[in-house]
Amino acid sequence: MKKRSWAEPWKIKMVEPLRMTSRAERERALAEAGYNTFLLRSEDVYIDLLTDSGTSAMSDRQWSALMLGDESYAGSRNYYDLEQAMSDVYGFAEFIPTHQGRGAEFLLSQLMIKPGQFVPGNMYFTTTRYHQELAGGQFVDVIIDEAHNPTSTFPFKGNVCLKKLQHLIDEQGTDKIAYLSLETNVNMAGGQPCSMENIKATCELCHQHDIPVFLDATRCVENAWFIKQREAGWNDRSVVEIVRDICNLTDGCTMSGKKDSLVNTGGFLAVNDIKLAEEARNLLVCHEGLHTYGGMAGRDMAAMAVGMHESIEEDHIRSRVGQVQYLGEKLMDAGIPIVQPIGGHGVYLDAAAFLDHLPRDEFPAQTLAAALYLDCGLRTMERGAVSAGRDAEGHNIFPKLELVRLTIPRRVYTQAHMDVTAESVLAVWEHRRAVTGLRMTYEPVRLRFFQAFFSPLVGCTVLPVDTSPEVVAN
């Protein structure tokens, strides 16, 4: 039978106009932003693929839920609804709301890490590692080697390398290990999933040594979808059953509701240990708010409770991941180097291969993100040396992966936007040899990628050719 098309499982009820800019406007905006896409004003952006964090479109049911916000200081009804939703989907015993994911990361790191301890994890995430370091811990990468190879097509590149983990345990002893930080659908690896088999084996190994496992459940639903699609024996299980099975193996999770849960803000910490939950609630009052709202308004908790249930609907998750695959396949068919397999929340361009004439200290990924913006106003994000920062001795870290992330917000853009995006990448690809690199002119000490400034090394732009669609159009 002929393969049939799929369409987004929603129709549009309200629209937000987009504005196309001219090449001259984009050049000015990019220079003002120090060639850093984080510093662009969103009104100067045409298609915004900077991040899928907090950028999702809410459903009519979520917008209705906002009106049912119970803004009581204590004991808001929405808190109990959200606690119930967390219990239905993730299944942990204790629920602690926070303003977003990093609020939960702060609580967990402060309570679980003693200075000098190690925190192994399957690749770092920016805020996660920052909080671990702030608490005196040291992150150790225990992801499998395939994750660092953009051309490996291994289906579960998020997996923990049990050998690396065992080695750390043997070398340092269990007392020196605070916990294992296990991320599902690993963001920095390109939205790559862990297999259920690996999650099971990893948790078993940790628990044999009394090392707790805390999940970064930010994209656990997307991971569950990949397990259903790719791992033998899971195809007839529902996504929510798989999410529950993953969570059941671990001791708790931090969660950014701004991703899977389809809200613009929110997050939580969930654990099974009642004593840890009590300590977290004590700390919560100081940093986030009372334990029945964390950092969220009642209405935000209401929208998140609805979003959490919507996130596990199979139609939704199929089209969410399907849209990312659609864009990724278009780019692959055109011969553009991307991280394979295509991930769950975005397509990652291999900037080191795309701009292989630029040395790493000219920041190929930062440069490519700037060039993509100049083409038609597409905003993407650098995930390479700028994001990786400096090591303890102050040297630039040059990670194996030098990527530009095209992150797809949930339920925001249509297939036509994906076509325009692919054409934009292709236009820069065709003129890639003309692209020149960047030099960093201002560097913040922490998480430098957010606020660093750059300037072109040659001339006054990284993309001397005008590839704008208004110029090249037929």
User: How many angstroms separate the first and last alpha carbons of the chain?
Assistant: 36
Enter the DSSP assignment of 270: E
Count of residues binding ligand PLP (CB under 6 A)?
15
CB of 100 to ligand PLP, least distance (A): 3
- Taking the least distance from each CB to ligand PLP, the nearer of 179 and 429 is 179
- Taking the least distance from each CB to ligand PLP, the nearer of 283 and 353 is 283
Question: Among 37, 62, 100, 117, which residue sits at the site for ligand PLP (rule: CB under 6 A)?
Answer: 100
CA distance linking residue 41 with residue 44, whole number of Å: 6
CA distance linking residue 61 with residue 305, whole number of Å: 11
| Contact map string, positions 249 to 268, toward ligand PLP, x by CB under 6 A | -------x-xx-------x-
Question: Among 216, 288, 362, 375, which residue sits at the site for ligand PLP (rule: CB under 6 A)?
Answer: 216
Of 97-105, 135-143, 328-336, 380-388, the segment contacting ligand PLP by CB under 6 A is 97-105
Backbone angles phi, psi at 137, to 5 degrees: -90, 170
Q: Which residue is nearest to ligand PLP (CB)?
A: 101
Token readout for 371 is: 């060039």
Could you confirm whether 398 is annotated as catalytic? Answer: no
Asked whether position 53 contacts ligand PLP by CB under 6 A, the answer is yes
Q: Which of 219, 244, 259, 410 is catalytic?
A: 259
**Considering only CA atoms, which of 128, 188, 253 is closest in space to residue 119?**
128
CB of 258 to ligand PLP, least distance (A): 5
Beta bridge partners of 379: 48
- Taking the least distance from each CB to ligand PLP, the nearer of 128 and 250 is 128
Residue 84: burial class (beta carbons within 10 Å; 0-12, 13-18, 19+): middle
Asked whether position 183 contacts ligand PLP by CB under 6 A, the answer is yes
CA distance linking residue 433 with residue 423, whole number of Å: 17
- Taking the least distance from each CB to ligand PLP, the nearer of 26 and 131 is 131
CB of 259 to ligand PLP, least distance (A): 6
Could you confirm whether 46 is annotated as catalytic? Answer: no
Order of all β-strands in the sheet with 252-256: 94-98, 267-271, 252-256, 213-216, 180-183, 118-121, 138-141
Asked whether position 288 contacts ligand PLP by CB under 6 A, the answer is no
Q: Which amino acid is at 10?
A: W
CA dist 238 to 87, 226, 247, 277, 381, Å?
16, 12, 15, 29, 33
Active-site residue set: 73, 125-126, 216, 259, 383, 449
Binding site for ligand PLP (CB under 6 A): 53, 100-102, 125, 127-128, 183, 187, 216, 218, 256, 258-259, 267
